[in-house]
Structure 1
Amino acid sequence: MGIFDALNTSVGGLQAQSFALQNISGNIANASTTGYKGIGTSFEDLIPQSATPDRQVAGGVTAFAQATITTQGTVTSTTVATNMAINGQGFFNVQKPIGITDNLPVFDGTTDYTRRGDFQLNASGNLVNGAGYYLMGVTVDPKTGNPIGNVPKVLQFQNNFVPAQATTAIQYAANLPTTPSTAAASGAAAGTLTAAGGLNPLDFTVNHNPLVLGTPPAPYSNATITGSQVNNKFAPPGPVNVATQLNGAANTTDSLSANFVAGDTIVINGNTIAFNNSGTGNTGSATPPSTLSIDVTKATNTVQTLLTAIDTITGTSVPSTVSSTGAVTLSTGTSSNLNIASSAAGWAALGFGASVTQNRAGGGTPGTGIVIGNDISVFTKESISGGAVTAYDATGTPVNLQLRWAKSDSSALGSPHTDTWNLFYQANPNATGTNTAWVNAGTNFVFGANGSLTSPTGSTITLNNVTVGNQSVGNLSMNFGSGGLTQYASTGGTATINQISQNGYAAGQLQSIAVNNNGLVVGTFSNGQNLDLAAVSVSHFNGTNYLKALDGGAYAVTNQSGVAIAGATGTISGSSLEGSNTDIADEFTKLIVTQQAYSANTKVITTANSMVQDLLNVLR
């Protein structure tokens, strides 16, 4: 190795130190960049070949970039609800648009990965970070909380609308006083249930036995209505029944073509069935809201086809039928009353008028366990408030559900009396006369001497067919939880409501979104609900430090990094950002070393040049 080799080696040293200086300058420049991962410099010596070790000389040098992607930056909190940071391993899945069409981003399907979590909602409803990358995740059904699929996609939340959810369950926890303070107790005779704050059945217009106050309202049952067979265009197999003749002709078929023509319609409980003669068969579905269109030219479409469609709309489990004499019987089922209207001649030919109105049988009117309008004043004086909750029917209409507790027995009266309570809900706030005002929940709540609930043994009861005013809420499950209902002494003699909530809500429109510490995007809706909308997707790699850096703090997959693996051990922190992992003090130290090494290499070049000049002077 000679003087000229030394010159070349020094030049290589200058290049290597310049490469290091470039990395140092970039790290310092990005000291405040969100999610930035510094790049270090690794030096590698280049040893020239030699036949024997004793002739080996020091060689040149080259520099390589050394990634620090796995080094965590400092996580700090922010005031932006959609900012997020990953504590530990993992990357956000993102895509960057390749263009904009009709003001909407266009993607090529390439997924990149980033730790930069300064995401904010843009005009299109996407979460975009400061470098223009769009966040990916898996959408969640806001009503069930379950993921919709498992393939991440670019998230969008613009104009999300959540439908109404009917109340099905009420969470309730309360302490009932040992001696309730009721208005009727103060003037009652000593030793009576009324004096102990209880309810006296003899004070009511209808003499209720307190032991049967818990009898729930009778459930609804199916009711039927049968048409006139003389007008029915149907004849069973066998001889033609003259009673089924219409317009002087024997009708030996129950095909719909003999009854209906294209353009006829039938409206069942607000759902329309239309008839057509397209020859292409039936279209749509009879499932409410109905979009069914029945093809009258289809040979297999019979009167029973129509009845089955009607049963699907009403939801009855009791089929509507055609008898052996041709009489059509319609069933209401138990869920609602039956209302059918049609001006079609074919409908009238089935033995019904232009409209059918048939109410369900029974239901909703209990024989016992109610308070009528005439007894509201007495009931209010002999019971205490149990709180109120706003429930919702299937359309999202709010229903004010008022509760009251009445003590129907008291251990203060001596054995075998027990501390027993009945729960009532208000069925009609405007009830008068003999109309039902309050309905008993149908359960005797019995408490032991220590104030704990001994009966019922479960933590849930069902309020059957709850109707408040004209609003039907249906069956409600009341959940008390373990130890949620107690009877401890209370100085005020009133019920202390520890919890009363329900799971229904009205329809609502998305107002804002935020990211929680579980990595879920939570939407706040106009109906006051906070519902999970999406789960942020994160991935990790076996060779993290071999990812290819892209502009904006993103990374692309390489052969050395391996493919992305769904999930990560790191956790997402909402309203937080990960800062740069650059250590300024460390970079300044490297800067001094790099400067000194660069200067030293220039000295070698100066010395080598001097030696070459000395060699040239020998020839003078």
Structure 2
Amino acid sequence: MDLFSALQTSVSGLQAQSYAISNISGNIANSQTTGFKRVDTSFVDLMSDAPPKREVAGSVLAQAQLTNTLAGNVISTSVPTNMAISGSGFFTVVQKTGDANGATTFSGANLYTRRGDFSQDKDGYLVNGAGGYLTGTNLDPITGQTTNTGLIKVGNASLPANASTSISYAANLPATPTTTASATSKKDVYNQNSAAVVIDGANQTGVKVDSTVAGAASTFVDNSIAGPSITAYTTTGAPLTLSTRWAKVQDAGTNPKQDAQWNLYYASDPTAAPSATDWNNVGTSFVFDSTGKMTAPTDNPIKLGDVKIGDYTFPGMTMSVGSSGLTQYADASGAVTTNTLSINGNSAGTLTSVSVGTDGKINGTFSNGTVKPLATVGIAQFANPDGLKADTNGNYQQSADSGPPLVGLNGSTLAGSSIEQSNTDIATEFSKMIVTQQAYSANTRVMSTAQTMMSDLLNVIR
């Protein structure tokens, strides 16, 4: 290498270290920028074409080294729509391009970012602090189906009232129920042949306990045990209490051989005392064998028919007993043990709050207590995240090096009410700054030394 080459090499060194200090400066400046990914610097030597025994140290080239795969710390916030990605992936966002004549326009191309400080704007759209509007799929809170794909809009969703039609129920009925009558007369079985009970055919399944018959309702209550009580909803969303009682109408026996049978009743007047209301039989006999397993009815869900509470009738109510179903095992308490109890239907509700789930769903909580998914956050994965082309405002663009986007979390999760901080470490950047400054100074020393050698050479000629 001649002196001129030495000067050129030192100049390339100055340029490379200048580029490195520029990256360090940018990293430090963005140490508090949400979702920022620091830019490191790598150096590549540029060798001249020469035989092995004549090779000399070449010039140097500085290149950016992205750290898109390195996550920053995740911290909690008080904004429920703030979100951070745990794992790989980027939020898909678009930029607003105009707002004329009351119509807002957005760019057609997706951008990708880790900046998740999203909050609602005046129109209900989710936008982060850098002006990136979150995209994904909006869901119908009633059906859960996709309504459209694009900008996510939370807005002011509402739920209409839905009438109850189905009960999910699983329980154990005690083999020996403890009733008021059993405590005094040792009588476990309710006598449905009483004049107070309307009999439905030869199967002895009572249809109704008539409270207008003196002592009928109180006798029934004394010979039965409390079943589940749950709130059902009418078509207008009005709540009605569905109170039930179980009556054992036949004990298991060996002579003659017979299975145990139970009947289920519900109160027709939820506001009256148990001994002052009619009790309607659902019209199905529940049969249990000697092992405590239910053998009838065999259909699931079980058809309860038209359930009338007060002046309102729930047509075609059904009861699903699930996989565990109903059993009849011995229980010292002599009471029903409820394992599962829920009912569909709801009153009308307005959106009161939102939250972000780990599965990428934005869920809404409504005034009626119902929680429904409102949208799915758009997440994109790339085979080579460090191949993305950096854009302004913390965004990235797809490039040939990054590969096409793969939609979905694909193993990653979201954290709501959280943001990801910059992955810049100040102490590390200061250490790199010291090394870079020393390398820069050394290159200037090479230039001054080469200049002195050239001056000495010229003095020889003189």
TM-score by length of structure 2 reads 0.89
Q: 1:65 to 1:429 in 2, by over 3 A?
A: closer
Unmatched tracts of structure 2, length 5 or more: none
Structure 2: which amino acid aligns with 1:11? V
* Equivalent residue for 1:601, pick from 420, 430, 443: 443
Residue 119 (structure 1) shift: 2.0
Report whether the alignment pairs 1:185 with 2:154.
no
Report whether the alignment pairs 1:445 with 2:291.
no
Structure 2: which amino acid aligns with 1:446? V
Paired position in structure 2 for 1:615: 457
Measure, in 1, the Cα distance between the counterparts of 2:330 and 2:234. Answer: 37
SS of 2:442's equivalent in the other structure is helix
Measure, in 2, the Cα distance between the counterparts of 1:525 and 1:419. Answer: 44
Paired position in structure 2 for 1:17: 17
Residue 114 (structure 1) shift: 1.0
Measure, in 1, the Cα distance between the counterparts of 2:300 and 2:248. Answer: 20
Structure 2: which amino acid aligns with 1:27? N
Report whether the alignment pairs 1:532 with 2:373.
yes
Measure, in 2, the Cα distance between the counterparts of 1:544 and 1:187. Answer: 78
Deviation per CA, 1:155-184: give whole Å up to 9, x if none.
111111122222221111222222222223
* Equivalent residue for 1:581, pick from 406, 410, 423: 423
Paired position in structure 1 for 2:62: 63
Paired position in structure 2 for 1:311: none
Measure, in 2, the Cα distance between the counterparts of 1:7 and 1:49. Answer: 19
Residue 77 (structure 1) shift: 5.0
Q: Equivalent residues in 2 for 1:368-517 (5 A)?
A: 369-374=207-212, 375-411=216-252, 415-429=256-270, 437-517=278-358
Structure 2: which amino acid aligns with 1:607? T
Aligned residues: 456
Structure 2: which amino acid aligns with 1:371? V
Measure, in 2, the Cα distance between the counterparts of 1:496 and 1:58. Answer: 84
Q: 1:457 to 1:615 in 2, by over 3 A?
A: same
Paired position in structure 2 for 1:201: 192
Report whether the alignment pairs 1:47 with 2:44.
no
Measure, in 2, the Cα distance between the counterparts of 1:500 and 1:471. Answer: 22
Deviation per CA, 1:362-399: give whole Å up to 9, x if none.
xxxxxx61222323232222222212111122232222
Structure 2: which amino acid aligns with 1:182? T
SS of 2:199's equivalent in the other structure is coil
Q: 1:213 to 1:103 in 2, by over 3 A?
A: farther
Paired position in structure 2 for 1:242: none
Partners of 2:234 and 2:314 within 8 A in 1? yes
Q: 1:180 to 1:69 in 2, by over 3 A?
A: same
Report whether the alignment pairs 1:167 with 2:158.
no
SS of 2:282's equivalent in the other structure is strand
Measure, in 1, the Cα distance between the counterparts of 2:272 and 2:452. Answer: 115
Measure, in 1, the Cα distance between the counterparts of 2:116 and 2:379. Answer: 12
Measure, in 2, the Cα distance between the counterparts of 1:53 and 1:186. Answer: 107
SS of 2:27's equivalent in the other structure is helix
SS of 2:153's equivalent in the other structure is coil
Unmatched tracts of structure 1, length 5 or more: 215-367
Measure, in 1, the Cα distance between the counterparts of 2:368 and 2:80. Answer: 20
Partners of 1:203 and 1:378 within 8 A in 2? no
Measure, in 1, the Cα distance between the counterparts of 2:399 and 2:324. Answer: 58
Residue 533 (structure 1) shift: 1.0
Report whether the alignment pairs 1:567 with 2:405.
no
Report whether the alignment pairs 1:591 with 2:433.
yes
Partners of 2:197 and 2:207 within 8 A in 1? no
Measure, in 1, the Cα distance between the counterparts of 2:202 and 2:353. Answer: 52
Structure 2: which amino acid aligns with 1:555? Y
Paired position in structure 2 for 1:365: none
Structure 1: which amino acid aligns with 2:135? M
Partners of 1:90 and 1:570 within 8 A in 2? no
Structure 2: which amino acid aligns with 1:107? F
Measure, in 2, the Cα distance between the counterparts of 1:409 and 1:530. Answer: 43
SS of 1:97's equivalent in the other structure is strand
Paired position in structure 2 for 1:34: 34
Structure with the greater alpha carbon radius of gyration: 1
Structure 2: which amino acid aligns with 1:23? N
Structure 1: which amino acid aligns with 2:305? N
Paired position in structure 1 for 2:154: 157
Q: 1:567 to 1:577 in 2, by over 3 A?
A: same
Partners of 1:113 and 1:554 within 8 A in 2? yes
Measure, in 1, the Cα distance between the counterparts of 2:262 and 2:357. Answer: 43
Structure 2: which amino acid aligns with 1:200? N
Paired position in structure 2 for 1:275: none
Q: 1:46 to 1:430 in 2, by over 3 A?
A: closer
Partners of 2:284 and 2:304 within 8 A in 1? no
Q: 1:478 to 1:387 in 2, by over 3 A?
A: same
Q: Answer 1 or 2: which has greater strand percent.
A: 2
Partners of 1:86 and 1:570 within 8 A in 2? no
Comparing 400-409 with 581-590, greater Cα deviation is found at: 581-590
The Cα RMSD (Å) is 2.9
Q: Percent identity?
A: 46
Measure, in 1, the Cα distance between the counterparts of 2:447 and 2:353. Answer: 65
Residue 594 (structure 1) shift: 1.7
Measure, in 2, the Cα distance between the counterparts of 1:207 and 1:87. Answer: 64
Partners of 1:399 and 1:471 within 8 A in 2? no
Partners of 1:370 and 1:436 within 8 A in 2? no
Q: 1:483 to 1:563 in 2, by over 3 A?
A: closer
Measure, in 2, the Cα distance between the counterparts of 1:527 and 1:167. Answer: 14
Structure 2: which amino acid aligns with 1:369? V
SS of 2:266's equivalent in the other structure is strand
Structure 1: which amino acid aligns with 2:131? G
Partners of 1:213 and 1:442 within 8 A in 2? no
Paired position in structure 1 for 2:82: 83
Measure, in 1, the Cα distance between the counterparts of 2:87 and 2:272. Answer: 63
Paired position in structure 2 for 1:337: none
Partners of 2:192 and 2:204 within 8 A in 1? no
Measure, in 1, the Cα distance between the counterparts of 2:272 and 2:27. Answer: 77
Measure, in 2, the Cα distance between the counterparts of 1:71 and 1:580. Answer: 10
Deviation per CA, 1:86-137: give whole Å up to 9, x if none.
2333211111212445787531223211122222333332222232212111
Deviation per CA, 1:520-579: give whole Å up to 9, x if none.
110001111000111112112344222121233211223433443323524222224333
Partners of 1:171 and 1:499 within 8 A in 2? yes
SS of 1:148's equivalent in the other structure is strand
